[in-house]
Amino acid sequence: DPRSGMAAVVYEDALYVIGGETPTGVSGEVLRLDGTGPTWTKVANKPHPAQDVGGVLLGEKIYVPGGSGPDGKPLATLEVYDPRQNTWEERAPLPEPLAAYAIAAFEGRLYLFGGWDGQQVVSSVWEYDPTTDIWTRRTPMPTARAWAGAAVIQGKVYVVGGSDGKTPLAVNEVYYPQR
């Protein structure tokens, strides 16, 4: 099915596509594409359907925070998928509902950058530690943005592009997790 606003995460030799918007609405469907063939397999659905969502692999599990629910409102959920058991569990919710954030994993922690809180595009930065199940607010970005990308290069997280809610951004910023 066509879809947009979904999370895509690689685990071992498979691609997992999670949630997103399909022609029939916001989905909680999870699809796995094994690297050995062109066949998609349905696995356990995400408990809360969401679009404008991202995911990261930490250890052996896929972490999927927030996103926009079927009613269009951002969610504060943190759902964790275990590919080996094909099960989902809920962890500590986000301190604020967020969708359309940039997401990255660095040294065993999850980082969320910006996003949409249901009213406005935000500049917040959140760090999640899966060992303690605690979210910590970090120094916000200089630029509020949503629908951006994030990637780790040499110990820094680059947050690239996105939108301020009105126009696309050409601003790229670097976050230093160790600081």
Q: Residue 160 and residue 152: Cα distance in Å, rounded? A: 11
* Residue 179 banded pLDDT, cuts 50, 70, 90: confident
Give the pLDDT confidence of 132-154 residue by residue, as tens digits. 999 999 999 999 999 999 999 99
Residues shown for the chain: 179
pLDDT at 128: 98
> Across the chain, what does the average pLDDT equal?
96
The DSSP secondary-structure symbol of 99 reads B
Query: What stretches of 23-144 adopt beta strand conformation (E)?
Result: 25-34, 40-43, 56-58, 61-65, 78-82, 87-90, 102-106, 109-116, 121-129, 134-138
The per-residue pLDDT for 37 is: 74
Measured in whole angstroms, the distance separating CA 2 from the mean position of its chain's CA atoms is 19
Instruction: Provide the 3-class DSSP secondary structure of residue 38.
Output: coil
Could you read off the pLDDT of 29-74 as tens digits, one per residue?
999 999 887 889 999 999 999 999 999 999 999 999 999 999 999 9
Mode of pairing for the β-strands spanning 56-58 and 40-43: unpaired
**Quick one: tokens of 166?**
């009105």
Give tens-digit pLDDT for 103-126: 999 999 999 999 999 999 999 999
Q: Smallest Cα–Cα separation from 13: which of 37, 31, 45, 30?
A: 37
